[in-house]
Structure 1
Amino acid sequence: MTAQAGADLPLEGVRVLDLSRVLAGPWCAQVLGDLGAAVIKVEHPERGDDTRDWGVPTGAGGTTYFDSVNRNKRSLGLDLASEEGAAIARDLAARADVLIQNFKRGGADRLGLGYERLSAENPRLIYCSVAGYVGDGPEAERPGYDLVVQGESGLMAMNGRAEDPPLKFGVAAVDLFTGQYAAQAVLAALYARERTGRGRHVEMALYDSGLSLTSYVGLGALALGQDPARVGNAHPAIVPYGVFEAADGPLVITVGNNAQYRRFCAVIGRPELAENPDYATNLGRSRLRETLGPVIEAELARRPRAQLIADLQAAGIPCGEVLGLHEALRSPRTAEAGMLHDGPAPVLAPPYRLDGARPPVRRTPPRLGADTEAVLAEIGLDAARIGALRARGVVA
């Protein structure tokens, strides 16, 4: 269950109490765990995290949803709605460096687990709250759901082709980016604590993250005073740039400047397209994409994909295959990168390297309550007390 630990991970010794559920909060805690923090994931002793009931089962109460955001954690089955369970959580918070929660507005306070109380008991605690909308706004009590926020923030209106309805991302992008932003803010608060000795209250809202994700497309909408055109897999401002069909399958070609364009035309055997002054600049090509595009597409469709990729790469033009998801995950490129941790239930590895080494998957996603006895023993509960709590359903 535990992989060989890596040496000198940057957050070694940092203790994280993860009271959150579903994706955004658990993703934040997983990032911290990947970097070496000791993460305790608190789950309902009977139901566990909601995501244990989502996606493809992976055995022993796991699913692909749960496994994707809960590596490098221990599981404590604890009923926070019980007085004894909440007291245990407060004891753990008093010893923690970071706490992450995504209760509905007021829920943490009702359990005695709110920021004011816990920070008074542990002034060094960094307390991270994840919600759907800002906590002091008129929508503070609304629950936050990724798909709803994708619609409300304009993200769905950015995706797809002009003739298609609004389209969501293929993953819960708002949830995952909110978790990543939360981890960044927690790391900043940990750094500041070295100087001040005090923790901070980090507040994250899914809606804010959704707006942030609109990035340069959102700024384009503000500059235009209207929604930019949707162009599917093409680029709204660069030509040729997108997904194209070779004779035997799709590939991505990204011609980023005029010099690359001239070399591209040579590769497809149409040097006159580079010599035509109408197409000499990207602005011209973009303006005339409806004329130029079909010519390029016809030339690409006549050639095998592998040969095209080899010729384009030799000419210094960025390109690549369009792979199926399973094909990509099992590709030699993924294996060489060390991005897949195989086991009874495979999980992805952390996507960064430190001093040339990828942080290890020290713990695969835990079974519900797998570490309950060990965690409770660490805060001084003996076997008799743990047994009594289990008999009353307080712990798993």
Structure 2
Amino acid sequence: MNPLPLAGVRVLDLSRVLAGPLCAQALGDLGAEVIKVEHPSRGDDTRDWGVRVGDTETTYYNSANRNKRSVTLDLQTAEGQGLARELAAKCDVVLQNFKHGGVEKMHLAYEDIRALRPDIVYCSISGYDRYGQEAARPGYDLMVQGEAGLMAINGDADQPPLKFGVAAVDMFTGMYAAQAILAALFDRQRSGRGRHVEMALFDCGLMISAYYGLEALLKQEDPPRFGNAHPAIVPYGVFDAQDGPLIVAVGNNTQYERFCREVIERPDLAEDARFKTNLGRAQHRHELQPQLREALRAFPRRLLLDRMNAAGIPCGEVLGVLEALQSPRARAGGLVAELPHPVAGRTQVLAPPYRLDGERPPVRHAPPLLGEATREILAELLGVDDARFARLKADKVT
């Protein structure tokens, strides 16, 4: 495989939990060397979330920390802060999501690091706008899903507000942050100038509202909730066959006619003037949907899927998470990587979700054991000798 695009870029990941670590993981997947700084005794909070893997990792931690090396430093000590600043001076990117004011107290803020390395690309992730009245509020995915209106558009109309199954705001924030960092690195090649990238969970949560948000602004009211159905396309959603659920995604009027005639054997629904156009079907969804559901329940799922595939109608199965991860599609794509683990024997992680020049980037480093690279990195980058390292350990700095 050709060298990865970010080979030679070094990232200091001072972040914890999900948004920041996901951002750093994305950079690591693209070839950056990522040094994750963690507390010596407890590490990242997520080392205690989810299901235990080995002695220091969990499924939650492993989902956001592949392709990294772990260094332990107590950033509440002056010496730990000094070592972090020295590491930052050797890096191209610094990423942090400390609570408001915390990074300044540790002298690890953007201005502190820029004084050591003027071309640093520095990313701060917070819950809310760092220039607004809520700058000091801690931000959590669940809170922002509620405050950004996301719970109000999720789920069925007769349900109470519902959060997404995964921490969608954290995940989008991490990806937006990685995108902005890449843009800053690109600009640095041209201008030689560093940048301070600032991200807020609430800002990114609001972006996720997408077309629902614009509809709310246009109509000056909340859009209705459609659950697994589509707000503008009919039929489009999850339906029950005789023996289980399946996805039907009829995208245009020609597909709808074939669906009625060749799949569910209801030509009368194709001929009904109310349903001939998608606009008509959306307008009369309450008359059409019950008939479609009844027709689909008359057939086995496999037969329906075969008929829709033959007719060129988008469709799919509804799988459990385990089924999806173990599916032939996931195996053929190499989307789950298995790596050796010194305690558990083997550990599984998800692979990067893209290909470069036809190849999926490798998982170069399994999610690290707590502090496994501390000695190596401090010696390699900062020249810390054995005697000093022993003293740092004795003083619980590392």
2:284 maps to: 288
What is the CA-CA distance between 1:290 and the residue it aligns to?
1.2
What is the CA-CA distance between 1:295 and the residue it aligns to?
1.1
1:302 maps to: 298
Aligned counterparts of 2:322 and 2:180: Cα–Cα separation in 1: 33
Aligned counterparts of 1:38 and 1:7: Cα–Cα separation in 2: 16
What is the CA-CA distance between 1:345 and the residue it aligns to?
2.1
The answer to whether the aligner puts 1:260 opposite 2:255 as a matched pair is yes
Aligned counterparts of 1:385 and 1:124: Cα–Cα separation in 2: 30
1:140 maps to: 135
Letter in 2 for 1:63: T
Letter in 2 for 1:377: A
1:363 maps to: 365
Deviations 1:278-315 (A, max 9, x none): 11011111111111111111111011111110110110
What is the CA-CA distance between 1:198 and the residue it aligns to?
1.3
Aligned counterparts of 1:224 and 1:352: Cα–Cα separation in 2: 38
Aligned counterparts of 2:55 and 2:115: Cα–Cα separation in 1: 39
SS of the residue corresponding to residue 52 of structure 1 reads helix
What is the CA-CA distance between 1:182 and the residue it aligns to?
0.1
Letter in 2 for 1:85: G
Alignment of 1:1-396 (within 5 A): 6-266=1-261, 267-343=263-339, 344-378=346-380, 379-395=382-398
Aligned counterparts of 1:8 and 1:381: Cα–Cα separation in 2: 30
SS of the residue corresponding to residue 345 of structure 1 reads strand
Aligned counterparts of 1:297 and 1:148: Cα–Cα separation in 2: 36
Aligned counterparts of 1:197 and 1:211: Cα–Cα separation in 2: 33
Aligned counterparts of 1:278 and 1:84: Cα–Cα separation in 2: 74
Aligned counterparts of 1:290 and 1:105: Cα–Cα separation in 2: 50
What is the CA-CA distance between 1:324 and the residue it aligns to?
0.6
Letter in 1 for 2:230: H
Letter in 2 for 1:118: I
Letter in 1 for 2:133: P
Gaps in structure 1 of 5+ consecutive residues: 1-5
2:343 maps to: none
What is the CA-CA distance between 1:121 and the residue it aligns to?
1.3
Structure 1 stretch 182-191 or stretch 326-335: which is displaced more?
326-335
What is the CA-CA distance between 1:60 and the residue it aligns to?
2.3
Aligned counterparts of 2:227 and 2:246: Cα–Cα separation in 1: 15
Aligned counterparts of 1:32 and 1:100: Cα–Cα separation in 2: 11
SS of the residue corresponding to residue 145 of structure 2 reads helix
Aligned counterparts of 2:158 and 2:303: Cα–Cα separation in 1: 33
What is the CA-CA distance between 1:59 and the residue it aligns to?
1.3
Give the TM-score normalised by structure 2. 0.97
Aligned counterparts of 1:278 and 1:365: Cα–Cα separation in 2: 56
1:3 maps to: none
Percent identity at matched positions?
A: 62
Aligned counterparts of 1:94 and 1:45: Cα–Cα separation in 2: 22
Deviations 1:335-383 (A, max 9, x none): 0111001242211000011010000000000000000000111110011
SS of the residue corresponding to residue 251 of structure 1 reads strand
Aligned counterparts of 1:148 and 1:95: Cα–Cα separation in 2: 36
What is the CA-CA distance between 1:236 and the residue it aligns to?
1.2
What is the CA-CA distance between 1:82 and the residue it aligns to?
0.6
Structure 1 stretch 23-32 or stretch 266-275: which is displaced more?
266-275
SS of the residue corresponding to residue 347 of structure 2 reads coil
SS of the residue corresponding to residue 142 of structure 1 reads coil
Deviations 1:34-92 (A, max 9, x none): 00000000000001000001011111210011000000000001111111110000001
Deviations 1:311-331 (A, max 9, x none): 101100000000011111111
Deviations 1:3-47 (A, max 9, x none): xxx541000000000000000000000000000000000000001
Letter in 1 for 2:383: G
What is the CA-CA distance between 1:155 and the residue it aligns to?
0.3
SS of the residue corresponding to residue 261 of structure 1 reads helix
Structure 1 stretch 261-270 or stretch 35-44: which is displaced more?
261-270
RMSD: 0.7
Aligned counterparts of 2:327 and 2:139: Cα–Cα separation in 1: 36
What is the CA-CA distance between 1:154 and the residue it aligns to?
0.1
SS of the residue corresponding to residue 143 of structure 1 reads coil
SS of the residue corresponding to residue 239 of structure 2 reads strand
Structure 1 stretch 220-229 or stretch 26-35: which is displaced more?
220-229
Gaps in structure 2 of 5+ consecutive residues: 340-345
Letter in 2 for 1:363: H
